[in-house]
A = this chain, B = another copy of it.
């Protein structure tokens, strides 16, 4: 099952167009990945972002409760493909495809995904509940 968490929206996440600014949505996606780490993983995940592909499906606004959903699509040797969705009041506003690479904190070079983490990632799947626009 994929990971779900609420986002605490900040007033400064809005911009003068009256909606949530795209760069705040990138922050919310980061919140989702970090909360997944804290909630599910067996220790600190040394990962770097390689790709962040964001689809802005609908405008999002200050006020309504926001939920981030994060699941794992692919597990490579050193890399990981995540799928994320941001929902507000029953509506998906953002989807994202995220590629992360595990690295060695000493050398900062890519390193294989540790097996204890791999086992958890295997469980974090979206299945049929994935948003289709």
Contact = CB atoms under 8 A, between A and B. Distances in A.
Interface of A: 6-8, 10-12, 14-16, 18-19, 21-24, 26-27, 30-31, 34, 48-56, 59, 62, 108
A108 B31 CA distance: 29
Does more than half of chain A's interface fall in helix, strand or loop, or is it mixed? mixed
A62 to B, nearest CB: 6
B56 A54 contact: no
A34 B11 contact: yes
Contact of A26 (B22, B31, B50, B62): B22
A31 B56 CA distance: 19
A122 to B, nearest CB: 24
26 contacts: A6-B8, A7-B8, A10-B31, A11-B15, A11-B21, A11-B34, A12-B21, A12-B22, A12-B24, A12-B27, A14-B15, A15-B15, A16-B18, A16-B19, A22-B26, A22-B30, A23-B26, A23-B30, A26-B52, A48-B59, A49-B56, A50-B55, A50-B56, A52-B52, A52-B53, A52-B54
A16 B59 CA distance: 13
Contacts of A6: 8
